[in-house]
Amino acid sequence: MNKAYNFSAGPAMLPADVMTKMQSELLEYGNSMASVMEISHRGLDFMEMSQRMEQDLRDLMDIPNNYKVLFMQGGASSQFSMVPINLLRGKSIANYVNTGQWSVKAIAEADRYCDVHICTDSHSNGYTDIADFDDWSIDDNGAYLHYTPNETIAGLEFDYVPEVDMPVAADMSSTILSRPCDVSKYGVIYAGAQKNIGPSGLTVVIIRDDLIGRVIKKQPVLFDYSTQANNNSMYNTPSTFPWYAAGLVFQWIKDSGGLTNMAKVNKEKSQQLYTKIDDSDFYSNPINPRYRSWMNVPFVLADGSLDKLFLEKSYNANLLALKGHKSVGGMRASIYNAMPLEGVKALIEFMSDFEKQYG
């Protein structure tokens, strides 16, 4: 197989070491005489694996004891419903921050359950900037404040956690584990796995325990956080293979120096790429530099008629999945934890060559 760098926004690249390990133990997990895909989630082998996986995540993120870690299904999108269903707790208003298209989806879902108060709205600046926190309007009667720390499509990322007198709910799908995180500042953190954790099919939820157990009446049992909290996330059959894969990724991050080192490498990767973009008139990125994402780097070519050629040539150079989201156009390089610095350097070199030839 040719060595390629995969810039897919999600499902995204996984560390090669993790996949090699999966391959080596695919047919038999431990001494179980069966694949990890074929064994009971209630058996000793799987139970041990899942306990280790949870502990590794707790160690990595330094998750306080009064937080539950839930491993769920349904993707981040199902959390758009679960957050209001569980966190409204008798109130009728929730605060939402709109910094991009995932925020919009979360807002649309919350709107089914409560009055959504928009604290700040980046729609007017084309999702390229975030208004100063002092200028936000926050409804004190809101049950919670929801925001999207990293907007995956435009590449707009917070460099702080909004501090308010109510639980903060965060859709961390595309930035979880990319840098250290003070979990105690949040009421609930959730993330679909397929960006920075593992294959799709697993949703990680980290929730302060006092927020569990007061759902809106008459909701599906699986939409009540207490259902999974009281059953070690095994009320029903979990997505066993993604759990296993996530466990290997957590181990890989630990072995690679934890979140401090992830942050160091991610910062370096994104800075090199943004510097390349800013140093050229051929490429551009419109995001306020303070809020540029470390994980998703969209850029456009000055001459959009070259987009197709750029994609063809980059693909032939083994640089995959650089096509930007249709709403933004141009290119997007998603450079999650698994993307090594060499991959970003290869992209930068390709960009320079392409510019020399066609600029």
Ligand X SMILES: *Cc1c(COP(=O)(O)O)cnc(C)c1O
Return the active site residues. Answer: 102, 171, 195
| Residue closer to ligand X, measured from CB, 171 or 224 | 171
Nearest distance in Å: CB 305, ligand X = 29
- Which one of 81-89, 155-163, 170-178, 299-307 is the stretch in contact with ligand X (CB under 6 A)? 170-178
Distance CA 317, CA 2 (A): 10
Q: Which long-range contacts (CB under 8 A, 24 or more apart) does 158-163 make?
A: 158/99, 158/130, 158/291, 159/290, 159/291, 160/133, 161/185, 161/186, 162/97, 162/133, 162/136
Range 243-280 burial, b when 16+ CB lie within 10 A, else e: bbbbbbbbbbbeeeebbeebbebbeebbebbbebbeeb
198 in contact with ligand X (CB under 6 A): no
User: Which of 171, 181, 227, 310 is the binder for ligand X (CB under 6 A)?
Assistant: 171
User: Which of 192, 198, 238, 298 is the binder for ligand X (CB under 6 A)?
Assistant: 192
- Contact yes or no for 100/150 (Cβ under 8 A): no
Nearest distance in Å: CB 63, ligand X = 20
- Which one of 49-57, 74-82, 137-145, 221-229 is the stretch in contact with ligand X (CB under 6 A)? 74-82
Give 136's DSSP letter.
-
76 in contact with ligand X (CB under 6 A): yes
Q: Is the dihedral of CA 192, 196, 200, 205 positive or negative?
A: negative
Distance CA 259, CA 249 (A): 12
- Which one of 41-49, 167-175, 224-232, 246-254 is the stretch in contact with ligand X (CB under 6 A)? 167-175
Binding mask 138-157 for ligand X (x = CB under 6 A): ----------x---x-----
Binding mask 240-279 for ligand X (x = CB under 6 A): ----------------------------------------
Hey, what are 18's tokens? 């993790």
What type of residue is 267?
Answer: K
Element holding 157 (H helix, E strand): strand 156-157
Angle at 112 (CA atoms; ends 168, 93), nearest 5 degrees: 45
| Residue closer to ligand X, measured from CB, 152 or 240 | 152
User: Which of 86, 174, 270, 334 is the binder for ligand X (CB under 6 A)?
Assistant: 174
| Residue closer to ligand X, measured from CB, 39 or 249 | 249
- Contact yes or no for 6/229 (Cβ under 8 A): no
Give 216's DSSP letter.
P
User: Which of 32, 55, 73, 77 is the binder for ligand X (CB under 6 A)?
Assistant: 77
| Residue closer to ligand X, measured from CB, 78 or 318 | 78
- Which one of 33-41, 132-140, 169-177, 273-281 is the stretch in contact with ligand X (CB under 6 A)? 169-177
- Contact yes or no for 96/80 (Cβ under 8 A): no
User: Which of 8, 81, 86, 173 is the binder for ligand X (CB under 6 A)?
Assistant: 173
| Residue closer to ligand X, measured from CB, 82 or 347 | 82
- Contact yes or no for 139/95 (Cβ under 8 A): yes
233 in contact with ligand X (CB under 6 A): no
In the region spanning residues 299 to 358, those forming contacts with ligand X, defined by CB under 6 A, are none
Residues that bind ligand X (CB under 6 A): 10, 75-77, 102, 148, 152, 171, 173-174, 192, 195
